Amino acid sequence: MTARLKIILSGLMVGQLGSLLVLFGNPVNMGVCVACFYRDIAGGLGLHQAGVVQYLRPEIAGFILGAFLISRMKGEFRVRGGSSPILRFVLGFFLMIGALVFLGCPLRMILRLANGDLNALVGLFGYIAGIYVGIQFIRKGFSLGRSVKQKTASGYTMPLFAIALLALLFARPAFIYFSTEGPGAATAPVWIALGAGLLIGGVLQRTRLCTAGGFRDAILIKDYHFLWGLVGIFIASLIGNVTYNLEFFNLGFEGQAIAHTSHLWNFLGMTLVGLTAVLLGGCPLRQTILASEGDTDAIITVVGMIAGAAFAHNFGLASSPAGPTFNGQIAVMIGFAVTIAIALSAVRSEVTIGKGVRSRG
């Protein structure tokens, strides 16, 4: 099987599972959404008190365990880290703020688009704009620095986190929150959600599909490999939606599921996501896969995303179908300022490091 076929098939699988999970009970256009699911997990753990988005999504545990197991089997489980962890935390944090102002990660953006939601098209333009800006920093030598080997125990953080989430999901202790209404209460059966997550985690560990990488590589090195995967997600999700979820299909801007129609903030929210994702070296989905195969820098990024989700709902930063909030708009602007400051500082430091890197002696 050629690499191109593999990446298209893995995209088709993700898109198809996205539609199927909606059929089985997940919120509309949210069969799979990495940002939304971390947000739900943050709520389930009581890190925020937005009652409508609290659930320990088993899909996330599936992504983690699937990617962990396959990377172990394939000898790609490498425990590494130390590449600017705190900057990655901050970037992950603001990535999540951008995603929750738009209302979805890049993956959900594609799934929304495949269900006729044209607000996601505005988001897509923003995402590409953010990636384009990020690429300018990369061209100038932006780098968060080298990672080095870390203690093996660090690499087990994500699989143990996933097992703990599943244990809490099944045991349902009183201190874990479960939404009784809203998106957090729309859930596919646990075993189906977990199975879909395992499949996605395992396959994407192999094919390295990344929504940021798709556009970044196309622009930066004219490599369309990952972009084909994104086309696969879109096509399979579109087919899945008109096959199983036709009553929800709605072409236009108005009345879309868990979305708002503020073009400016849909655009800027996703611009922030695109920019931070390029600087981090991957979208939320890819960060989750990397974190599960021993990349402790990606683990810190995921922790930053969860913290961002908690803040977003504690301080009224996340949008709702009524639109973005004032606090959310301020937070996105702060996010741009902080992200660009980080990018500029990491370009400068690379100039001095870079000279040593490229010479043999």
**Interface residues toward other proteins, by CB under 8 A:** 3, 76, 78, 80, 83, 138-139, 143-144, 146-148, 208, 210, 213, 216-217, 220-223, 225, 281-282, 297, 357-360
Neighbours of 280 (CB within 10 A): 25
Nearest-angstrom CA–CA distance, 79 and 25: 36
User: Would you say 18 or 81 has its CB closer to other proteins?
Assistant: 81
Under DSSP, the state recorded for 315 is T
Any bridge partners for residue 323, and if so which?
320
Integer CA distances (angstroms), 62 to 32, 73, 245, 292, in order: 12, 16, 24, 11
Instruction: Give min distance, CB of 156 to other proteins, in A.
Output: 18
Burial of 227-255, coded b for 16+ CB within 10 Å and e otherwise, reads bbbbbbbbbbbbebbeeebeeeebeebee
Residue among 83 and 292 whose Cβ is closer to other proteins: 83
Least separation in angstroms between CB 281 and other proteins = 4
Nearer to other proteins, 149 or 167 (CB): 149
Least Å distance between CB 6 and other proteins?
11
Shorter beta-carbon distance to other proteins: residue 54 or 143: 143
* Residue placing its CB nearer to other proteins in the complex, 207 or 329: 207
Q: CB-wise, 66 or 213, nearer to other proteins?
A: 213
**Shortest approach of other proteins to residue 189 CB, angstroms?**
34
Give me the least distance between CB of 129 and other proteins, in Å please.
18
The distance of closest approach from Cβ of residue 330 to other proteins in the complex, given in angstroms and rounded to an integer, is 30
User: To the nearest whole angstrom, how small is the minimum distance from the Cβ of residue 11 to other proteins?
Assistant: 17
Question: Rounded to whole angstroms, what are the CA distances from 131 to 22, 95, 114, 288?
Answer: 29, 12, 21, 19
Report, in Å, the least distance between residue 280 CB and other proteins.
8
Residue 72, beta-bridge partner list: none
Output 48 or 286, the one with its CB closest to other proteins. Answer: 286
Q: Could you give the CA distance from residue 301 to residue 212 in angstroms, rounded to a whole number?
A: 15
Q: How far is CA 341 from the centre of its chain?
A: 23
Cβ distance to other proteins smaller for residue 20 or 346: 346
**CA-closest candidate to residue 273, choices 130, 138, 132, 93:** 130
Which has the closest alpha carbon to 192: 319, 67, 31, 74?
31
Q: How far apart are CA 128 and CA 123, in angstroms?
A: 9
How far apart are the C-alpha atoms of 188 and 32, rounded to whole Å?
11
Neighbours of 264 (CB within 10 A): 11
Question: Closest separation between CB of residue 223 and other proteins, Å?
Answer: 6
Rounded CA separation 344/235 (Å): 38
280 backbone φψ class: left, alpha, beta (φ>0; ψ -120 to 50): alpha
CA dist 321 to 119, 182, 195, 221, 266, Å?
A: 12, 12, 30, 38, 12
Closest distance to other proteins from the beta carbon of 221 (Å): 6
Q: Which of 243, 274, 283 is nearest to 114 (CA)?
A: 243
Our CB check for other proteins shows the closer of 173 and 361 to be 361
Nearer to other proteins by C-beta: 151 or 360?
Answer: 360
